[in-house]
Amino acid sequence: MCGIVGVLSGEPAVPLMMDALRRLEYRGYDSAGVATVTGDTLSRRRAPGKLSALQEVLEREPLKGVSGIGHTRWATHGPPNLENAHPHVAGRVAVVHNGIIENHAVLRAELKAEGAVFESATDTEVVAHLLDREISGGATPQEAMARVMPRLTGAFAFVVLIAGEEDLMLAARRASPLAIGIGDGAAYVGSDAVALAPLTRRIVYLQDGDWAVLRRSGVSVFIGDGTPVERTEQVSTVSAAMVGKGNFRHFMEKEIHDQPEAIAHTLHAVIDPGTGEATLPGPLADAASVAKITILAAGTSFYAGLTARYWLESIAGIACEVELASEFRDRKPVLPAGGVAIAVSQSGESLDTLMALRHARTLGQKVLALVNVPESTIAREADGVLLTRAGPEFGVASTKAFTAQLTAFLGLAIALGFARGHIDEAEKRRLVSALEGVPSRVAAVLKDVSRYQSIAHGLSRARDVLYLGRGLSYPIALEGALKLKEITYVHAEGYAAGEMKHGPIALIEDNVPVVIVAPSDGWFDKTASNMAEVRARGGRVILLTDAAGARALGEAADEVVVLPDIAPEVAPILYSIPVQLLAYLAAVEKGTDADQPRNLAKSVTVE
Ligand code: G6P
């Protein structure tokens, strides 16, 4: 995984690449590097850590050249240090790479036996050595690629720069995304079109297995060992604007506060605000014939899927399963004819989710993408797209994209339920109106976050924290625990409240914080019993509930956060906000980097 960029321009390449890399930093920030070629000289600058560290190196030691490649890394092979930072160089060849060369060990052994000396522990370096071996042996760069590509296995994308070749870049894509940008007497490569947006909107998306030879005058695309193919150019609609943090301390804080808008925009993209009518996206258009829905996702998007299952079953009356993409893709699930798979992904680039989408298709399912990024790979490969309208999300921990996914899913369940005759007009109206009431209630919660400060302080100092919920609140408990652990590094577990007695209850001792997500809905009384079990063992109960819940149970909790009254069906969207706030404020208390927590990346493009 990682972000990669390449530039053949008339202007200095480094500032253009640094801007593009800033747009790609969501893909990893373990190290960064750039290389340029001037005449016969390849030069590079690299630094461990975030892009800002590379910027400092470049200020001390500037890099000239109008042709270059750049990289921001999420470490897979080899620790995140200087020697493993890309670009990797062998002889005349420099490479930046995203993904994994799975047969790197065999190739490394072969190259070493011939005398190659490796500088890093990365899988990437074999590509540089293989190409250099061919070129040193007299092959042209194009011939070298044609020979090397069939030797590589795995899911990857890479860009190559060669000493003495100021008007040439080579690029390849197998599963990992890669976009080529066509400029006026310039050519660019980037992991996505957003990275290239300030440079050009003319994009050629490479397909799986493609490789390309780029010159300022144009691009030629090939497959396999060198068969030329045509790939059409399209005009990208992605915005070049760099979104700032405004007056917020972190993107995550801003994105938490963006939610009233993100939810409202998403809702109105699914349900017509005038008529209350919903339109069903392509693969679900024939609602009555949908045999089953299989939701495929990773991380926070998976928890959106778990929530959606309740809605799709109870409101739409459709059989539904939710699958972790990384597990689904290697199984042989038995899926019915007429089934639809929904690939859920903020970025639209998570490789496991993409592979799961492809797998679902081979199993005879139509595929719908529920994504936040319109031109993403998952959106482009699906049979239909339902867009969340959360706007760009930069915080690694997903917030507004999650509540937008929930909103889209509930809108979809209502539309499907009505089209299938599972709910009547009155029930549809009730649910649509409940959904329309969500943005103002979210705004009310965000108006005063001081209530969360002292609780967050306690969580930031805890060793273990449990999150419990039942029914529709169960996925929110999972999401709350994920948020806390990923940005504060405090161990947190989310559990179905009823399952607590089968294990996690052993963790409860004096003052272990237990966050209980419990609006006063049909599951409330049972959750109350589980809360009593926690209290009886000395756990410190933090109850997230509404006024009625507080009246019923307030005395029995150590802390009660009272949220606005809301229909139970839409409560998960509202109850996401306090768990996000608790995690965010705990991270601020602890001083961890909420936007770029260690070891994580926003979009995970390795398997
Ligand atoms: C990473 C991110 C998470 C995200 C997950 C799935 O782990 O850190 O915030 O939920 O990937 O990403 P996707 O873009 O597919 O929703």
pLDDT tens track for 406-421: 999 999 999 999 999 9
Query: Is the pLDDT at 240 greater than 80, yes or no?
Result: no
Q: Which residues contact 30 (CB under 8 A, 6 or more apart)?
A: 48, 49, 73, 74, 75, 80
Residues of the chain with CATH 3.40.50.10490: 253-444, 448-592
Q: What pLDDT digit, counting tens, does each position of 531-575 carry?
A: 888 898 899 999 999 999 999 988 889 999 999 999 999 999 999
The span from the CA of 493 to the CA of 136, in Å, is 55
Residue 602 annotated to the active site: yes
- Give the per-residue pLDDT at 510: 86
Q: pLDDT band for 577, please (50, 70, 90 cuts).
A: very high
- The active-site residue, picked from 428, 483, 485, 602, is 602
Query: Is the pLDDT at 118 greater than 80, yes or no?
Result: yes
- Mutation test of ligand 1: which of 192, 301, 376 has the most ligand atoms closer than 8 Å to its C-beta? 301
Residue 2 annotated to the active site: yes
For ligand 1, atom 15, the nearest C-alpha belongs to 345
The span from the CA of 387 to the CA of 270, in Å, is 9
Residues of the chain with CATH 3.60.20.10: 3-241
State the Cα torsion 279-283-284-289 to the nearest 10°: 140
Superfamily of domain 253-444: Glucose-6-phosphate isomerase like protein; domain 1 (3.40.50.10490)
Q: pLDDT band for 423, please (50, 70, 90 cuts).
A: very high
How far away, in angstroms, is 41 Cα from ligand 1 center?
39
Q: Which residues contact 340 (CB under 8 A, 6 or more apart)?
A: 283, 284, 290, 292, 293, 294, 365, 366, 367, 368
How far away, in angstroms, is 345 Cα from ligand 1 center?
7
- Give the per-residue pLDDT at 382: 97
Residues with beta carbon inside 6 Å of ligand 1?
A: 298-301, 345-347, 350, 353, 396-398, 600, 602-604
For ligand 1, atom 13, the nearest C-alpha belongs to 345
- Give the per-residue pLDDT at 542: 97
- The active-site residue, picked from 2, 254, 366, 485, is 2
Q: Which CATH class is domain 3-241?
A: alpha beta
Record: fold of 448-592: Rossmann fold (3.40.50)
Closest ligand 1 atom to 397 CA:
9
Closest ligand 1 atom to 353 CA:
15
How far away, in angstroms, is 566 Cα from ligand 1 center?
28
Percent of the chain with pLDDT over 70: 100
Distances (CA, A) of 261 to 46, 111, 181, 407: 40, 55, 32, 12
How far away, in angstroms, is 392 Cα from ligand 1 center?
13
Distances (CA, A) of 335 to 153, 313, 343: 29, 17, 15
Query: Is the pLDDT at 251 greater than 90, yes or no?
Result: yes
Count the Cβ atoms, other than its own, within 10 Å of residue 279: 13
